[in-house]
Amino acid sequence: MTARPTVVVTRRLPGIVEEELSRDFEAKLSRDDRPLGAAGLQDALRGADAVLCTVTDRLTSEVLAVEPLRARMLANFGVGFNHIDTAAAKARGLAVSNTPDVLTEATADIAVTLLLMVSRRAGEGERHVRCGAWTGWRPTHMLGTEVSGKTLGLVGMGRIARAVARRTHHGFGMRVIFHDPYPPSAAEAAALGAEPRETLEQVLDEADFVSLHCPATPETRHLMNRERLARMRRSAFLINTARGDVVDEAALVEALGDGTIAGAGLDVYEREPEITPELLTMENVVLLPHLGSATQETRIAMGRRAVENLRLFFSGAPLRDRVV
C-alpha cells in the first residue's frame, strides 16, 4: 500500500485491534461508541475509502445509494451480514467481507450456557437470592429439568451448531438430532453423535431442547412462528443464538405464557436492542445482551480478521472472507 487509505470504524473495537488498524490505515475511530445512524453511515461512505462496520449498522439500499460514493469496501465485524444489503453493495461496486470461523467456540459456549440456565432456572434463582427472598434449601424449591440424556434438536448444522453438538453429546450424553438443507457428511455427523432429520417439524416433534443456528434470510424470517412453536413439546425449551428475526417474538410470548413450551433462552432479539416488554416479566426466559462472541479473545480475533481483509483489499490481493 503506497498511501494510507481512510477507514471509518463505526464502533469501539478492542484496543489492540484499533492500534493495529491505525498502523496501516488512516483510521477514524469511534470515540463515543454509538451507532452512526443512516446519515452518519452516508457521511462515512462519502468520506472514507472503507468502512469497518458492525451488526448495529443498517447498510440498506437507501444508505448505499449515497452520492458521491468514495468507499470501495465494507469490512464487517461479525460473521452475519443480514444488516447489509449485499445486492445493493454489489451494484455499487463495494466489496464486502465478514469474520467467520473465529467466533464459533464462544458462540457455542453461550448456546450451552442458555440451555443450562433456562433448564435449571439459574436466572430466576439468582434474582431470588439477590432480592433477599431465599430462605434456605428445601426439597421442592425451584426444581428444574435435567439436561443429561435429553434430546437436543439443532436447526441448522453449520460450524456453531456442530460445536454445540460436540459439547452436548460428548459432555452431557445428549442425543442430538438436526435438520439442515445442506447437512454435513454422514461421517462428520456420526462423529458428533448427531442424527439427521428430513424436516424441521421432525426435529420439533422429538426434541427436549431446540437450538437455532440458521442464518437470517427472507426464508428464515419468523421460521419459529406460532404453528412451529406449537409443534414443540410442552416440556421443551427454545434456545436462540442465531438472529432475532428467526423467531416471531409475539408468538413466542404467547407460547411461553400459555405453557405451549416450558421456556426459552435468548441472546438475540427481533428488534434488537428493543425487547418485547412481556419477555422482561417472564421468569421462564433467560435474556442475554447479544453475548455470543463476547470474549476478549474472540473479539480481538474478529477485529484482526476484519483488518486482515482490509489489508488484502488495499494491496490488491484476494479477500480471505469475501461475501460480495
Model confidence pLDDT, tens digit, residues 152-183: 999 999 999 999 999 999 999 999 999 999 99
pLDDT for the residue 3:
80
How large is the C-alpha radius of gyration of the chain? 21
Report yes or no: 52 and 21 within 8 Å, Cβ to Cβ. Answer: yes
Unique residue bearing C-alpha cell 472503507: 50
User: Using 50, 70 and 90 to split pLDDT, how confident is the model at 135?
Assistant: very high
Q: Where are the domains of the chain?
A: 6-102+296-314, 104-287
The active-site residue out of 159, 166, 290, 320 is 290
Task: Inform me whether the pLDDT recorded for 1 exceeds 60.
Answer: no
- Known catalytic membership, residue 290: yes
The active-site residue out of 272, 278, 308, 320 is 272
Measured in whole angstroms, the distance separating CA 195 from the mean position of its chain's CA atoms is 24
The active-site residue out of 121, 179, 228, 243 is 243
- Known catalytic membership, residue 128: no
The mean pLDDT of the chain is: 97
Instruction: Give me the mean pLDDT over the 136-153 stretch.
Output: 97
Task: Inform me whether the pLDDT recorded for 200 exceeds 70.
Answer: yes
- Cα separation, 157 vs 203, in Å, equals 12
pLDDT for the residue 94:
98
CATH class for the region spanning 104-287 = alpha beta
Counts for the chain of helices (H) and strands (E), in that order: 13, 12
Model confidence pLDDT, tens digit, residues 288-315: 999 999 999 999 999 999 999 999 999 9
Task: Inform me whether the pLDDT recorded for 280 exceeds 90.
Answer: yes
Task: Inform me whether the pLDDT recorded for 2 exceeds 60.
Answer: no
Domains 6-102+296-314 and 104-287 share a fold: yes
Instruction: Give me the mean pLDDT over the 131-143 stretch.
Output: 97
Instruction: Give me the mean pLDDT over the 36-54 stretch.
Output: 97
Name the H helices within the chain: 15-24, 37-47, 61-64, 86-91, 104-119, 122-130, 159-172, 186-191, 200-206, 226-231, 249-257, 277-280, 296-314
CATH class for the region spanning 6-102+296-314 = alpha beta
Amino acid at 263: G
- Start-to-end CA span in the chain (Å): 22
Instruction: Give me the mean pLDDT over the 144-156 stretch.
Output: 98
pLDDT for the residue 262:
98
Instruction: Give me the mean pLDDT over the 206-226 stretch.
Output: 96
User: Using 50, 70 and 90 to split pLDDT, how confident is the model at 203?
Assistant: very high
Q: b/e for 227-239, b at 16 or more Cβ within 10 A?
A: ebbebbbeebbbb
Instruction: Give me the mean pLDDT over the 212-221 stretch.
Output: 93
CA angle 101, 106, 111 (to 5 degrees): 115
Model confidence pLDDT, tens digit, residues 56-74: 999 999 999 999 999 999 9
- Cα separation, 81 vs 86, in Å, equals 8
pLDDT for the residue 290:
96
- Cα separation, 69 vs 230, in Å, equals 48
- Known catalytic membership, residue 11: no
Backbone angles phi, psi at 274, to 5 degrees: -70, 140
pLDDT for the residue 282:
97
